[in-house]
């Protein structure tokens, strides 16, 4: 199965500073590229637990006694670590965003490049679809989605078009939806704007930002002292959340100080400047273009 070419593969796995006998977590297993490289660096007593809410990913799971695949969202990290009797781990890796496999599988409905149903669920056992959002969310909710997750200019006009169109015909497929909002999307910016709209819908359908915030908090508690957290982001919305949390240890960005005014930093930054793919990697894998890699160590 052609699934996903990992971005910044060596850099992200090296960022874990793997100990051969350590316990590690890959929170976004996908095609298993990161997990396979982690396993290469682990000894016989090392352990790797990999999460993915998309059951398709299980087909890529290696047969290895050191490896455990968990079909679940990364927001349930602590629950499953408790289930497997694990108090702390030595490193956690999260490659955020959508996999190439999900984009390329027509029936999943993640891309505007093909006419298909408006689905966009990463976990196909979940109930909410993109069609549900477009057909039932009120104006305030749609405005929030397109403003916060798509950062779309003129989002109120877009919402108005959607509400007027669905009053006549409910949305069922991508072609119908794109046709209904065609006057909002000038041809010279078509792909850029549609990508933002579809991104916003995907984030809402999968509750990605809430899951990300929960995952970061749980990762902090799950890491032992000097354990590493490695996060790859692909768009500004999630990157701001990650950057704020890694810098302050909370989602509000509040800097905590002790009695003497010394700043408490829950993490030590390993890479002072964000790591981005080389031009050579982008040429081979264009989807790497927007990636940003951040590596921290628990204080």
Q: Which band of pLDDT confidence, cut at 50, 70 and 90, is reported for residue 32?
A: very high
Superfamily of domain 9-100+208-298: Vaccinia Virus protein VP39 (3.40.50.150)
User: Vertex 31, ends 29 and 34: CA angle to 5°?
Assistant: 60
Give the pLDDT score at 1.
46
What value does the mean pLDDT take over residues 239-248? 95
Number of H helices and E strands in the chain, helices first, is: 12, 9
Q: What is the mean predicted confidence (pLDDT) over 165-189?
A: 95
Do residues 102 and 54 make contact, with C-beta atoms less than 8 angstroms apart? yes
Looking at the predicted structure, is the pLDDT value of residue 201 above 80? yes
Q: What is the pLDDT of residues 72-127, one digit of tens each?
A: 999 999 999 999 999 999 999 999 967 554 555 655 656 777 778 999 998 888 88
Q: Cα 249–254–258 angle (5° rounding)?
A: 80
Domain 127-205 has CATH 3.10.20.340: no
Residue 48: strand pairing partners? 24, 67
Residues of the chain with CATH 3.40.50.150: 9-100+208-298
**Parts of the chain belonging to CATH 1.10.150.170:** 127-205
Contact 70, 40 (CB under 8 A): no
Average pLDDT, the chain: 92
Q: pLDDT value at position 202?
A: 93
Tell me the pLDDT tens digit for each residue of 212-235: 999 999 999 999 999 999 999 999
For the chain, give the percent of residues with pLDDT over 90.
83
Q: How confident is the model at residue 4 (pLDDT cuts 50, 70, 90)?
A: low
Please tell me the pTM assigned to this model.
0.91
- Render pLDDT for 270-288 as a digit per residue (tens, 0 to 9): 998 999 999 999 999 888 9
Average pLDDT for 178-189: 95
Dmax (CA) of the chain = 64
Pairing of strands 47-51, 23-26: parallel
């Amino acid at each position: 199965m052609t699934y996903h070419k990992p971005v910044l593969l060596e850099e992200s796995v090296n960022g874990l500073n793997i100990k051969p006998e350590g316990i590690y977590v890959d929170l976004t297993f996908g095609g298993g590229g990161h997990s396979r490289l982690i396993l290469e660096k682990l000894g016989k007593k090392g352990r790797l637990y990999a999460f993915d809410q998309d059951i398709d990913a299980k087909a890529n799971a290696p047969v290895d006694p050191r490896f455990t695949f968990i079909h679940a969202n990364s927001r349930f990290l602590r629950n499953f670590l408790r289930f497997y009797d694990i108090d702390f781990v030595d490193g956690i890796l999260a490659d955020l965003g959508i996999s190439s496999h999900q984009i390329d599988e027509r029936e999943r409905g993640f891309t505007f490049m093909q006419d298909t149903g408006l689905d966009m669920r990463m976990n196909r056992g979940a109930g909410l679809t993109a069609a549900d959002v477009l057909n039932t969310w009120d104006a305030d909710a749609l405005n929030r989605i397109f403003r916060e997750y798509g950062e779309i200019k003129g989002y109120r006009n877009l919402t108005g078009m959607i509400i007027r169109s669905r009053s006549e015909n409910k949305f069922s497929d991508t072609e119908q939806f794109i046709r209904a909002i065609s006057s909002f999307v000038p041809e010279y910016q078509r792909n850029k704007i549609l990508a933002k709209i579809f991104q916003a819908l995907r984030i809402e359908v999968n509750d990605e930002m809430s899951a990300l915030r929960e995952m970061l908090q749980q990762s902090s508690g799950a890491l032992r002292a000097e354990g590493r957290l490695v996060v790859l982001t692909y768009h500004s919305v999630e990157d701001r959340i990650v950057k704020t949390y890694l810098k302050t240890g909370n989602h509000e960005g509040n800097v905590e100080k002790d009695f003497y005014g010394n700043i408490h930093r829950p993490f030590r930054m390993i890479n002072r400047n964000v790591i981005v793919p080389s031009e050579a990697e982008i040429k081979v894998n264009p989807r790497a273009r927007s990636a940003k890699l951040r590596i921290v160590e628990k204080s």
